Every structure is written in structure tokens, then in C-alpha cells.
Chain A
Amino acid sequence: MEFFFISMLNGLSYGLLLFMLSSGLTLIFSMMGVLNFAHASFYMLGAYIGYTLNGVFGFWTALFLAPVLTGALGALFERLSLRRVHVYGHVPELLVTFGLSYIVLELVQLVWGRTAVEFVPPALLQGPAFTLVQHSVNGLSLVWGAAPAELCNSADAAVRMVCTTFPATRGFMMLVALVMMLGLWLLLKRTRVGLVIQAALTHPEAVEALGHNVPRVFMTVFGVGTGLAGLAGVIGGSTFVTEPAMAATVGSIIFVVVVVGGMGSLGGAFLASLLIGVVQTFAVAFDYSLLMLLQQLGLATSQAMQNNSVLKLTLSQVAPILPYMFLVLILIFRPKGLLGTRET
């Protein structure tokens, strides 16, 4: 029970991190039709800038400043490079961001080195957020923060007690993602700026005719989108590792999220992020293979079958490819994506 609960929370927090990234990507895509290949690079940039600012001003200032800086860099890139390529169509736009992902990776290695840096979250977030105590007599109970030692080690041998902790950084990750989601929703649906953005999304010419500067709206959206990636970077970087490979590990997953959710659909991105986060977290935790399943069912397994590498694969080994399998299945059975409306 406590395994399920903690894994679920871990999965949800990872999914929410993916959503923080894919929401920016979706926003930029639905607005400009550009799939920002360098989105994960901005995530990495956010983490590294956050790491540097963390050393100078402390975590909370970094949490605020790093996304702003990352967003400013994103807006700058849009202004100087992406806007120039816009006239050539979508493929060159994608290519320009592809080139940028190379450059950012190399620049990050140039400035911060090729090995992981130690991005320590503040003391407040270092311990566990809460501890689940499984008591074989009293059942399940919850203790905020770290549980005192006597709760986890019973003096009586007959009573079994297991403590499972949930890290505070992950809790914080969920909190930030939810606040961000609410903020984004309010901004898009309840403000005048959001109204202009939504209108520019479908009818850019009409919006321009009404006197709004559409290129500037685009630049702002790109800046906000990359800023969100930067925010995810500060949180992801302090929770996991801040290293040059972090963009590549998360990069292809968020593209899967965007396609599975349906290109340009924020709701779909949310659903797909959570789904992929939860599925991947659970898959890692299960060490079962097809061979074990066959043995469980009472079927005889030959020596050749026991050495077969397909049958021997455990679910945790398959976990990294699950999102891509999911992508293929979605494309075969529901090409639009989960909540998508676009056919192409």
C-alpha cells in the first residue's frame, strides 16, 4: 500500500515536471507552429543558471531569477534568429532550434564543465516531506517531515515497522507545477493579454489589424515558454542531477508527450505528462519478466527459453522504451493524440 502511494506520488511529481516543460513547448507550438527542438536545452540552461545564482544569492532568488534570465535568452534568440527564418517556413525554423541545441550544449560544457555540478536544494527542502509508517499492528500512519527513529525501529521483534519517505524536493516540484499551471490558465483565460495571445493563435492577421504587435506577442510567448522550461530546470536540476546530459535525457520524452497529448493541446500535454510519468515510475519499480510470468502460470520453460533475451527482459529494463512504445501505439490507434484536434 505505502509502496503504491509513494510510487504514485513519485510518478505524479515526475509527470508534473514533464508538464512544466511540455506546456511551454505546446504554448510555443500552438502559437507559432514552431516545435522548439532546443526546449530541453533551455531546461538545462535554467538548471545551470539556477546553480550559479544559487551560489551567489541563495535558492529562492535563483528560483525567481533563473527562469527570468532563461526566458530573456529565449526571447533574444527568437528576436535575432528565429524571426529571420520565419519566412522560409516551418522546417527551417525547426532546424534553427536544432542547431541551437548543439550550441547550447557546447556552451554549457564550455562554461560549467563536462561533469555534473552539485546543485544542492536549500535546507528546507532537503529532508523528506512526510514519512509513511507501516505498523503491522496499528496499520498505516503519516508523519510530517522525518519520522523519529523509534517509530521506524520497533523494540518488539513481533511488530514489524517500515518507514517510507517522500522527498520534500519532489513535493515542492508538484507544488510549483500546480501553481504554474493555475497561473498559466488564469493568464490565458482571464486576462486581456491572454485574450490577445489566444486570438493571435488562430487569427494573427486580424489581431495585427486591430493594432497589436503580433511579432512582439510571438517573442513574448517564446520568452515565457522558455522561461517555464528554465523554471522546470531550476527545480529539476536541484532534485535530480545538473549535468550536460540532462537535456538529452528529458528532451525526447517531452516530444513524445507533446505528440501523445495531441500537438498544440495543453490539456492533452497535461494528461500525457502524468500518464508517462506514472507509467515510467511504476515500470522501474517492477522487476518482473515474461519468463517469470510464464513460470508463475505454471508453464514449463526450456533451457533455451530461459536464456532468451526477450523473455528475460524485466519490466524495469523495458521502462526507458515505454514512452516510445506508447507513442507508436497512439499513432496507430489515435493519430490525433489523446486530446488533439489537428489531423496533420
Chain B
Amino acid sequence: MALTKTHYEFKPYNVARWIIWGLFALILLLAPKLFNSNLSVSMLSQMGVAIIACLSYNMLLGQGGMLSFGHAVYTGLGSYVAMHALLAAGSGSLPVPVTLIPLVGGLGGMFFAVLFGYVSTKKSGTTFAMITLGMAELVFAMSLMFSEFFGGEAGVSGNRVVGESFWGITYGPQIQVYYLTAAYTLVCVALMYAFTRTPLGRILNAVRDNPERVEFIGYNTQHVRYLAFIIAGFFAGIAGGLASVNFEIVTAEVVGSGRSGAYLLFTFLGGATFFFGPIIGAVLMVLAFVLLSELTKAWLLYLGLVFLFMVMYAPGGISSLIMMNLRLAAFGRLKQIWVAYVGLGVTALIGLAGTAAMIEMVYHLQLNTTASPELVFAGIALNATSFNSWFGSVFVMLTGFGLFELARRQYLHDWEETQVYIEKEIKRREAL
């Protein structure tokens, strides 16, 4: 029997939602106009790819509570499938336009998710994590064995300018690839958001929170996890396919554990509890991989430290911090606390600068033993062997962290106050 309404129900348009999605589309459209150098357009394309990959990862981690250490398997294999499809299209044996190559990658990722997911999703929790880790190792080890598919050390490379140009679109210039990526990003993000609203998406949340009760209401949790895994594999494959079109080369490292670890790290940093968290994480990921790794050799150490502190003090990631302060702003209390934020930020920066100067000096000593012990850090000339540089760094670090502790106490005090106020305010509004 179809559900028909017996009464009139007022259903307004969700204006805020249309505004947010419109803004998102506008950002995707205008970003290359603002940042129009070659490097930034390439980075923007990578961000689009990373956004799809991180959101698909969050479908497992955030929505399904499945901690996967092998998500790069699906993006990576999607990349390989897409690249082989591109090569086949180039040789004329497969009539697929380049525009649809990422979809082929998606189907590839989905195929492997169907295959490996069956074993992986048999378990949840810690065992699931270990199985995905084993799967990732398995695929990576295989990538060095089967050189026909994986191309061995050199990888597989192709040419994305294939077939007739359509309305002048050849995908030769990077900007065209960016708009292809942007279009896929918008559609995939919308689809993945829509997924969270489907009954499957909802029951997936239930499987994360209380699998036992889900079993009692008649669902097979393993089945739900498997379906979610397949869908996540599909979107991961699309991301991989876009990466193939973007870079025109795929090497074995795309299925490596480093890549999987990066998805996990940045999805978590962005925030797994909110839908938009992984988008922030993906943007940070590309910035870190392209810019931070140029800036310092110790970037993985900083990344690990940031991650560790994030897990310890803000397990909801950056997005949860934003949402907490939005709540504050909604109650008009942000003006009370922003001074404390400035204090926290400045003192933390001072402390970190001192720490970073020391780390950089040690790295400098460890890696360039033959060169001179002098280095430039943040515009200041340091000498890694001199007492002065070390004393200065330690002094700056201790001062920074000492002041940070004071600022933190003040901040905690202010924060408590605002929270008490908000609680009161909520009660008062309820009483009205």
C-alpha cells in the first residue's frame, strides 16, 4: 500500500541547504579564477580527488564505525582500472570517452570492494581494522608481482587526450581536467550526502552505534557493512579514476599503506563525526603533501604530533571544533571568548616555533652532516651547533608553553562560563 497523506502538511524549502550547496558549487566554479597559477590549479584538482576519497573513507569510519587501514586499495585499484581503460580507449579497443573514465575507475573500485569486502566485513571493530591492514599488504605485495597489470616499478602511464574533441574539450589543458574533477566532486559529494539520508545510511549509523539491537530488529549487520563497503569502494574508485586522468601515471604506491594511512589521518583530522569534516581534511591533505613537504623534511613528525594531540583533546576533529563554536555564536557568546582564542593561538605559536626550531636543527644535523651547520628557520638564521641557537629555541619554547598554560586556564574558565550560560538559556527557552 502506498503511503498517501490524508492531511495537508506545510513543507518549506530547506533554504539553508540550497544556499550551502550553491556556495559549494560556486567555490568549485570560481576557485581556479582566484588561484590561477599552474601549481594551484593542479592542487585544486588534487583536492577534488582527495575530497571524494576522504568522504568515501568517512562512509566507513564516520558512518559505519569501520576503521579501515586499507582504503587506498580501492582508490588505487580504481586508478589502475581507469588507466587501463584510458589506454584501451587510446588504442581504440574500448569506445569510452575520457569524461566517463572516472566512472570506469569507480566500477573497478566497486568490483574489488565486492571481492575483498566480503572477507573484510565479516568482522567489525579491531578485527576489521586488522583484516583491512592485511588486505592492503596483500594487494601491495601483489602489485610488485603482477607487472602486466601494475606495470612494476615504473607504473602504468597513458595519455588523457584521446578521441575527438567535444565542444573544444580535449582535456589537454589542466583547467579542463580541473572542471571535470569539480563536476565529479560536486555530484559525488551530493550523492554521498544523499546516501546518509537513505534507510541504508541510517541503518549503517545504527550498526555503528549498537549492532546488537540492529540484529534484534531483523537486520544482518554483516550485510549492511558489506553494502556500505561496496558503495564506499565505488566512490573511492571514482577518486582513483580522476587521479589517473589528472596525473596520467599510476605507480604501485597508490595502493601502499602510506596512502591508506594518509586517508585515515586526514579524514580524522577534518572530523569524522560531521559530513563536511573530511572535506576540510582533504584540503589539508593536499596542502600538507604539496606545500608542507616542500617546506620541511620533518613534516611527518609534525603530522603525527598534530594527529596524536587531536585524538587526545579533540576526537571530533576540526569540524567538531567549528560546530562547537558555531553553537557559541548562535547564542551570541563568541565575543566573550575570542580574546581567549587569540591568547591561545599566539602562545601556542610561540611554543611551537621554539619546538620546531629545535626539530629543524636536529634534522639539519642528521641529514646534512657535510654541509655547514647553519640553516634558516622562519627567516631567522640558526646555527645547529651553537649554544646560542639552542638556548634561544629552548627559551622561546618554554616561554610559549608557559604562557599557553596560563591562557589555557583562562580559556577553560571562560568556556565553562559560556556553557553554563547556554544550558541555562536552553532551559529558559524550553520553559517559555
Q: A: which residues have CB within 8 A of B?
A: 29, 33, 35, 81, 84-85, 88, 90-92, 94-96, 98-100, 102-103, 105-107, 109-111, 113-114, 248, 252, 255-256, 258-259, 263, 309-310, 313, 317-318, 320-321, 323-325, 327-328, 331-332, 335, 344
Q: Which of B125, B138, B141, B304 contacts A99 (CB 8 A)?
A: B304
- B359 part of interface (Cβ distance < 8 Å): yes
Residues of B within 8 A of A94 (CB): 67, 126, 129
Q: Is the CB of A252 within 8 A of B137?
A: yes
27 A–B contact pairs at CB < 8 A? A35-B130, A81-B308, A84-B312, A95-B67, A96-B308, A96-B312, A98-B264, A99-B305, A99-B311, A105-B300, A106-B304, A107-B301, A110-B298, A110-B301, A111-B362, A111-B366, A309-B146, A313-B145, A318-B145, A321-B138, A323-B134, A325-B138, A328-B119, A331-B131, A344-B123, A344-B125, A344-B127
- B319 part of interface (Cβ distance < 8 Å): no
Bound together, the chains give a CA A256 to CA B362 distance in angstroms of 36
Q: Is the CB of A259 within 8 A of B130?
A: yes
Given contacts A106-B304, A324-B141, contact A91 B67 (CB under 8 A): yes
Nearest-neighbour CB distance to chain A for B239, whole angstroms, equals: 22
Q: B: which residues have CB within 8 A of A?
A: 65, 67, 119, 122-127, 129-131, 133-135, 137-138, 141-142, 145-148, 257, 261, 264-265, 268, 298, 300-301, 303-305, 307-308, 311-312, 315, 359, 362-363, 366-367
Residues of B within 8 A of A321 (CB): 137-138, 141-142, 145
Bound together, the chains give a CA A103 to CA B138 distance in angstroms of 25
Interface centre among A95, A100, A111 (most CB of B within 10 A): A95
Bound together, the chains give a CA A175 to CA B302 distance in angstroms of 40
Residues of A within 8 A of B257 (CB): 248, 252
Q: Is the CB of A35 within 8 A of B129?
A: yes
Interface of chain B, main secondary structure: helix
Nearest-neighbour CB distance to chain A for B72, whole angstroms, equals: 14
Residues of B within 8 A of A313 (CB): 145
Bound together, the chains give a CA A111 to CA B141 distance in angstroms of 30
Bound together, the chains give a CA A105 to CA B261 distance in angstroms of 14
Q: Is the CB of B126 within 8 A of A88?
A: no
Q: Is the CB of A103 within 8 A of B304?
A: yes
Residues of B within 8 A of A111 (CB): 362, 366
Given contacts A110-B359, A344-B124, contact A256 B134 (CB under 8 A): yes
Q: Which of A92, A113, A255, A318 contacts B311 (CB 8 A)?
A: A92
Nearest-neighbour CB distance to chain A for B225, whole angstroms, equals: 12
The 6 closest A-B pairs by CB, nearest first: A102-B304, A106-B301, A324-B138, A99-B308, A103-B304, A99-B307
Which residue in chain A gives the minimum CB-CB distance to B120? Answer: A331
Interface of chain A, main secondary structure: helix
Which residue in chain B gives the minimum CB-CB distance to A343? Answer: B123
Q: Is the CB of A331 within 8 A of B307?
A: no
Given contacts A85-B311, A85-B312, A107-B301, contact A95 B119 (CB under 8 A): no
Residues of B within 8 A of A324 (CB): 134-135, 137-138, 141
Bound together, the chains give a CA A318 to CA B146 distance in angstroms of 11
Q: Is the CB of A81 within 8 A of B127?
A: no
Nearest-neighbour CB distance to chain A for B153, whole angstroms, equals: 15
Bound together, the chains give a CA A102 to CA B266 distance in angstroms of 14
Bound together, the chains give a CA A321 to CA B147 distance in angstroms of 16
Nearest-neighbour CB distance to chain B for A326, whole angstroms, equals: 9
Nearest-neighbour CB distance to chain A for B289, whole angstroms, equals: 14
Bound together, the chains give a CA A256 to CA B300 distance in angstroms of 26
Bound together, the chains give a CA A332 to CA B115 distance in angstroms of 13
Q: Which of B147, B264, B366 contacts A110 (CB 8 A)?
A: B366
Residues of A within 8 A of B67 (CB): 91, 94-95
Interface centre among B130, B131, B145, B303 (most CB of A within 10 A): B130
Nearest-neighbour CB distance to chain A for B7, whole angstroms, equals: 44
Residues of B within 8 A of A33 (CB): 126
Bound together, the chains give a CA A32 to CA B17 distance in angstroms of 43
Q: Is the CB of B119 within 8 A of A332?
A: yes
Given contacts A84-B312, A328-B134, contact A309 B145 (CB under 8 A): yes
Given contacts A99-B307, A103-B305, A327-B134, contact A90 B359 (CB under 8 A): no
Residues of A within 8 A of B125 (CB): 90-91, 344
Residues of B within 8 A of A325 (CB): 138
Q: Which of B148, B304, B366 contacts A309 (CB 8 A)?
A: B148
Nearest-neighbour CB distance to chain A for B352, whole angstroms, equals: 15
Residues of A within 8 A of B138 (CB): 321, 324-325, 328
Which residue in chain B gives the minimum CB-CB distance to A112? Answer: B366
Nearest-neighbour CB distance to chain B for A110, whole angstroms, equals: 5
Which residue in chain B gives the minimum CB-CB distance to A106? Answer: B301
Q: Is the CB of B134 within 8 A of A113?
A: no
Bound together, the chains give a CA A95 to CA B308 distance in angstroms of 8
Known: A96-B311, A105-B300, A252-B257. 12 other contacts (CB 8 A): A90-B125, A92-B315, A95-B311, A256-B134, A259-B130, A309-B145, A321-B145, A324-B135, A324-B141, A328-B134, A331-B122, A335-B123
Nearest-neighbour CB distance to chain A for B311, whole angstroms, equals: 5
Bound together, the chains give a CA A310 to CA B69 distance in angstroms of 27
Interface centre among B65, B137, B142, B264 (most CB of A within 10 A): B137
Residues of A within 8 A of B134 (CB): 252, 255-256, 259, 323-324, 327-328
Interface centre among A81, A91, A320 (most CB of B within 10 A): A91
Q: Is the CB of B130 within 8 A of A255?
A: yes
Given contacts A98-B264, A321-B138, contact A327 B307 (CB under 8 A): no
Nearest-neighbour CB distance to chain B for A126, whole angstroms, equals: 30
Q: Is the CB of B126 within 8 A of A35?
A: yes
Which residue in chain B gives the minimum CB-CB distance to A33? Answer: B126
